[in-house]
Amino acid sequence: MHLDIRPCSALRGEVKVPGDKSISHRALIFGAIAQGVTRIDHINPGGDVSSTVTCLMKLGVDIRFDGRFMFVGGKDFFDLQAPTEVLDAKNSGTTMRLLAGLLAAQDFSSTISGDDSLRRRPMRRIIEPLQQMGAHIDSTDGCPPLHIHGRELNGIEYEMPISSAQVKSCLLLAGLGAWGTTTIIEKEQSRDHTERMLRAMGAPISRVGNKISIRPGKLHDIDIKVPGDISAAAFFIAAALLVPDSDIFLPHAGVNPTRTGFIEVVREMGAHLKITGEKAVCGEPVANIRAQSCELQATEISGVRIPLLIDEIPIIAVLATQARGTTIIRDAAELRVKESDRVKLIASNLRNMGATVEEFPDGLSITGPTKLRGAEIDTAGDHRLAMAFTIAGLVAIGTTRILQPGSVTISDPNFYDALSTLGVNGVV
């Protein structure tokens, strides 16, 4: 299956991006172990979040959707039911890693697996600290499926070797059901949706400097309105910046400071962005974003900034091809173990489109501006790559063919429809 993209001009209008995927996962999982019924508004409709719903239901959690709200009937932490079949996380690393923390402390055994892509992703990063807490987990050379033999856990102090919100969240979930205090030490801050939501639901959690500590405790139900996903918004912002005479408005987007690295970077590149109406909703900051076309300058990204924009690097790379100068991205080796080897595929696909790209073990160097030309894009079924190169196709000469475009449903099923409403008429 493929999709052909042709260049266009003057994208204009409003896009309501889907609910934040990271927050949606957490709302479901925390709601499943909270007292009462958690009501979730604007939940992400993508395949990854659906995987979390399915897995929780196999654990005996009552989840209903009425067309707008998702209702999650909470159970006590230790009242989940032993699944009668393998829990299938499909393509969702968040589903697997967060649920592993929850399952490790149960009094039953379970197995969680996924698709071919997920079964290649590294899980030692959660297995090893969970084992330090007393967990018994079998894997295939550190990769899924994970066979989790639930048992009593003890709190630990753990310094994370790499910055990862998924690893942190996994261990905090395990800490909710462990004896004593669990303390996570971050070298570099990662997205903090877990800490914010657990605090809002009454968990005994605290942060001092780079240390996050949690003790066993009960959660209470709350009403959650999920902000628009800034990672999804990034593609439309990029489209507005690149396509001449464009003006796109994105209401109610999440602007959590641990997620706005993309906003900061594109502003450094000269982006015309207006952020208005900022307010807090369920502990998460949201705002309206307006993006307009402009000329861009190269920038450099590395170090502590990388965890704050790791999912946006594919679209930043596309922007870099149209920026004046050389954009350098380093310390991003984590991209090689995402849904695909994103470093390799960004480099090869951009070269096929005529861009000047150098590939490093931990990043990229991209020199622009370059007039891109249409090419066949290998997405490897990676939703971020499919969306990023669709945007590249809007400013390329000729036709850009996106292979496996259906992968966008993992995070934003309405992505191509939204582009059409903005004036893209080259989607075939």
CATH number of this structure's domain 2-19+227-422, picked from the four choices 3.40.50.2000, 3.65.10.10, 3.90.79.10, 1.10.275.10: 3.65.10.10
Whether residue 394 is predicted with pLDDT greater than 60 in this model: the reply is yes
Quick one: fold of 21-225? UDP-n-acetylglucosamine1-carboxyvinyl-transferase; Chain (3.65.10)
Q: Give the per-residue pLDDT at 426.
A: 55
Q: Give the per-residue pLDDT at 131.
A: 98
Can you tell me the distance from the alpha carbon of 167 to that of 130, in angstroms, rounded to the nearest whole number? 10
Catalytic site residue from 20, 88, 229, 311: 311
Q: What does the H/E/C string look like for the chain?
A: CEEEECCCCCCEEECCCCECHHHHHHHHHHHHCEECEEEEECCCCCHHHHHHHHHHHHCCCEEEECCCEEEEECCCCCCCCCCCCCEECCCCHHHHHHHHHHHCCCCCEEEEECCCCHHHCCCHHHHHHHHHCCCEEEEECCEEEEEEECCCCECCEEECCCCCHHHHHHHHHHHHCCECCEEEECCCCCCCHHHHHHHHCCCCEEEECCEEEECCCCEECCEEECCECHHHHHHHHHHHHHCCCCEEEEEEEECCCCCCHHHHHHHHCCCEEEEEEEEEECCEEEEEEEEECCCEECCEECHHHHHHCHHHHHHHHHHHCCEEEEEEECCCHHHHHCCCCHHHHHHHHHHHCCCEEEEECCEEEEEECCCCECCEECCCCCHHHHHHHHHHHCCCECCEEEECHHHHHHCCCCHHHHHHHHCCCCCC
Q: Give the per-residue pLDDT at 428.
A: 47
Task: Dig out the tokens for 248 from the structure.
Answer: 């796109």
Average pLDDT rounded to a whole number, residues 243-265: 96
Q: Give the per-residue pLDDT at 6.
A: 94
Task: Dig out the tokens for 206 from the structure.
Answer: 């605290």
Minimum mean pLDDT range among 267-276, 339-348, 374-383, 419-428? 419-428
pLDDT interval class at 272 (50, 70, 90): confident
Q: Give the per-residue pLDDT at 234.
A: 98
Q: What percent of the chain has pLDDT over 90?
A: 94
Active site residue 311: yes
Average pLDDT rounded to a whole number, residues 35-48: 97
pLDDT digit string (tens) for 285-329? Answer: 999 999 999 999 999 999 999 988 999 999 999 999 999 999 999
CATH 3.65.10.10 residue window(s) in the chain: 2-19+227-422, 21-225
pLDDT digit string (tens) for 340-381? Answer: 899 999 999 999 999 999 999 999 999 999 999 999 999 999
Q: Give the per-residue pLDDT at 338.
A: 86
pLDDT digit string (tens) for 146-172? Answer: 999 999 999 999 999 988 999 999 999
